[in-house]
A and B are shown apart, each in its own frame.
Chain A
């Protein structure tokens, strides 16, 4: 053994022990995607084998020594049709199968738990609704559908978890979403896969999948005290949103109770589904998203609130399930009449267990 250089030995050891050819399958969609992948590998291997066999056979049989005179053949419509239709048919099968998987990956089920992820040069920040913040890490439970709502604070990034077979671009200026359901506890790679500048290779992290019991333990131990919705409530007050968006009959803005998920009629004539993207746009570019019946007087908050702040506000609005809830917000803060000046939060409401809507 002393004759083999340590470097080479290390390499050989690693080859024997730390060498994988395929990523682990740790989500519900992973085996489904792998099935399609292996089908494609099979078709490719068969196709390649056919071509290689034909080329080799012809090269041997029709070698110049063996076959000195070539036979001039124009072509064969039958053969052309065959090798047009069969590949086309196979490609179309793959297309349909792939499209089904694609739709499955990007259409989250209604009961998925939402985690916000903000990418910025060069780190990932995950915000759980309960207020847990993670940097370059993501803790998730098995057996639950988890939706990620992604956005970037600067350039394009891409959130990739190979073990789950999911990946989604984080774009500046709008939300993108993806969902998965983890199945196997463990720690898996998290990569940024869209080149984003100098430290792109180091924008990596860990996805930790825990059993539901362990996940609950983790949640309890890592809470920072304020959930996203609570933070949003604070912002809602400090930015004077309640000056117009309150429950008074003469309110200048629509009440936001139960607005999330509703179909809104816009003053420009169309209707729109009030989802996360709409709420974000309504905060940052309000003049294009005015609800019917209201004047276009809402000022833009672009530049006054960060992406994390917007996330908190959106989360707060999502959980506004009653007018009473809105009154709680306005009652915990002192507002000067007619919304002059900024509101002064009199008391930050203590954490109430029932506040986050389940």
Chain B
């Protein structure tokens, strides 16, 4: 008897309050939207094979990259780890029976689905071509299409995100089991907690910004329109005030996954646990103060630029700390290279590159040359795809046995990880060079001397696509034919691994008591010894 077999029928899924079922619902919907966003990416890369805008009308191309951005950010990256892995695991990791507010959790999924359907409707009825950044006055006065429906979709998805974050914060504060002090929480919980703070405080500002755009579009009031005394730079400030913390919302949960995976597959507690925990919170806090580094060339005062550039340097330091802490977790460990570990290694390398190139952009002098070019595109794809998406895949593989009770096939999944890594580098590394050469973003056509690098990039994208398709295939296969996983196939220390796979609906038969340390491998050994002795 487990949470999957407990009740059957479609209503038992659609009206569930069980955080684990909601996590599975999210997993399916997120995967669906990922492949839609991915198909749009494929179209972009196909167009960019040739210097002319010859595959589709420039109008269509603009719509394709806009929808690619909107779907990937709001319907994949933001909810990816929190709504699937976080939903499933946070109650278990703190020793609770469910999240604090199960109905809000289900509402959060329904809001996500409503927003997603609205986004699909937008695509079906002609799309929107403002870029995901909705820059005014372009989005308010100069485009004739579905800005309002897209804005509404993002607005609703934002509330989905707020409710998830709210649920996490309340759960982590109020529902920890006896003995579970803050510093015995797994680092995955710390990372999601930090991300939840950002979700809860940042997303409402995006919501009101969308409301203002909607008002300006429908009534032609002049909040952002210079002809009416408004200021388009105000929009930039309001938009980036959310959208910068949003990138930390996207990456922090992934960093949490990496902490868990590296610890488990080196059989060691994470080096510098406290430093990593505080780094997560520091990234969240500092993340609120750097938004204008997206606006360095927009005519804000030189002094603002200095302040924001300095703060950007500060926010980069905790991420660097984490990379080194993970590296030293390997020191004197006992390391194996299962698929989650391979993805985690991929994360470390690619996130380091992505993060360092963030420094190139946060340094005001070099940002002048590199901003608004493919350097930016490469930077954020390195951190988001090379970083976050790899962490997501790492987490899905790591907790797959816990969620489904089945093991995934190891060899093919390791192959997929390597294929993804190779494809990724081929796709996005040439884009750094293109950016330095000056190739602008959001261009359907480009000077012919940029073609060679673009061809490399597209070739890489085709390999990358294979790397992403394989997991969908073999993970689905494993649901029926995968080896049965026990409670703890990885011999990991978290509370979730001390109970059956898949878990009971109420997670634990008896409320656990956290009488040992987090990442306490010695305790785990003693538990095993007890089991053996009792046989």
| A residues whose Cβ falls under 8 Å from a Cβ of B | 11, 14-15, 18-23, 33, 36-37, 40, 43-44, 47-48, 51-52, 54-55, 58-59, 62-64, 67-76, 79-80, 83-84, 87-88, 91-92, 94-95, 97-103, 105-107, 121, 154-156, 158, 160, 162-163, 165-169, 171-174, 176, 189, 191-202, 285, 302
Contact = CB atoms under 8 A, between A and B. Distances in A.
Given A36-B365, A62-B331, A198-B58, 7 more contacts: A14-B448, A48-B352, A74-B273, A76-B328, A101-B368, A103-B302, A201-B445
Given A55-B330, A94-B359, A87 B317 contact: yes
B320 to A, nearest CB: 4
Interface in B210-235: 226-227, 229, 231-233
A107 B303 CA distance: 12
Contacts of B171: none
A55 B446 contact: no
B527 interface: no
24 contacts: A21-B437, A22-B436, A67-B333, A69-B334, A73-B332, A79-B328, A88-B314, A97-B363, A98-B365, A102-B302, A102-B305, A121-B142, A160-B373, A160-B438, A162-B437, A163-B438, A169-B299, A193-B371, A193-B372, A193-B373, A195-B62, A198-B58, A201-B443, A201-B445
Contact of B313 (A14, A71, A95, A191): A95
Contacts of B373: 160, 162, 193
Contacts of A196: 138
Contacts of A173: 226-227, 231-232
Interface in B331-345: 331-337, 345
Interface in B441-480: 441-449, 451-452, 455
- Chain B CB within 10 Å — which of A75, A76, A163, A168 has the most? A75
A200 B62 contact: yes
B414 interface: no
Interface string B231-270: 1110000000000000000000000000000000011110
Binding site of B, secondary structure by majority: helix, strand, loop or mixed? helix
A298 B62 CA distance: 44
A87 B334 contact: no
Interface stretch (B129-137, B195-203, B392-400): B129-137
A74 B302 contact: no
A37 B489 CA distance: 47
Interface string B421-449: 00000000000010011101111111111
- Chain A CB within 10 Å — which of B231, B313, B442 has the most? B313
Interface residues of B, number: 96
A228 B387 CA distance: 53
Given A155-B138, A167-B369, A20 B317 contact: no
Closest 8 CB pairs of A and B: A162-B438, A173-B226, A101-B365, A98-B363, A98-B365, A75-B272, A193-B372, A58-B330
Contact of B297 (A43, A72, A168, A200): A168
A174 B299 CA distance: 9
Nearest to B275: A80
B365 A100 contact: yes
Contacts of B349: 48, 51-52, 55
